[in-house]
Amino acid sequence: MCGRFSQSGDLEVVRKQCKVVECSVDDRPRYNIAPSQPAQVIFNDGITKAAMLRWGLIPSWSEDETIGNRLINARAESLNEKPMFKNLFRKRRCLVPVDGFYEWQKTGRFKQPVRIIMKDGTPFALAGLWDKWVSPAGDTIDSFTIITTDANELIRPIHDRMPAIISPENYLLWLDPEVTDVKLLSQMLNPFSSEKMRFYPVSRIVNNPEIDTPECIKPLNPDDTPQLSLL
């Protein structure tokens, strides 16, 4: 599962790697993005774009937008089986650039939130699907869901699922709507290497989706402060 993430770092590096042609994002740092909120997403809609999409997929055929509240995640194993995801998996894939995501580790009587990042502190991209929905009144909403896969060795003690992370060398392939080989695409959704990742405990204020401040990503232990790569 993926229920929260952050876009607080410099995501331009991911946009450049994706060769974004049109960019209309709000680049203000976001520390605690929750379902139903807008987030930066990279997708191909004739050209490669970076824009703000609502988190929670609203399929084009939906009668109303409330279905998006239930479709924040999609399991990698069933993308080619479920009718609501099958065509999107072939034609409307996206990337969600992030610098970390959250999970909750059971500790005694409560769950301790932890932030999961790359060891070198660099941004990375989560695999997703997107769609365009037009309301009965004619309003258009672009929305997305994050694909999940089995947890790697690092995350497994915390949760049995994790967001599927796409390697940079596969960004362009994943975004290309002309690529429809399900076997090839599915191979990109394997658990990401645990050796490149780490996590650290953060404040329980991230439990509140209305709190979106730097305190959300601040380590409880100062020794856990992320060190950004100079490369």
Amino acid at residue number 41: V
Extract the tokens encoding 133: 């929905």
Pairing between strand 140-150 and 197-201?
A: unpaired
Exposure string for 158-182, b = 16+ CB within 10 A, e = fewer:
bbebbbbbbeeebbebbbeeeeeee
Q: Which residues contact 163 (CB under 8 A, 6 or more apart)?
A: 2, 5, 101, 126, 127, 146, 147, 148, 149
Q: Which residue has the tokens 């959250």?
A: 102
Q: Which residues are catalytic?
A: 2, 103
d(C-alpha 57, C-alpha 133), whole Å = 9
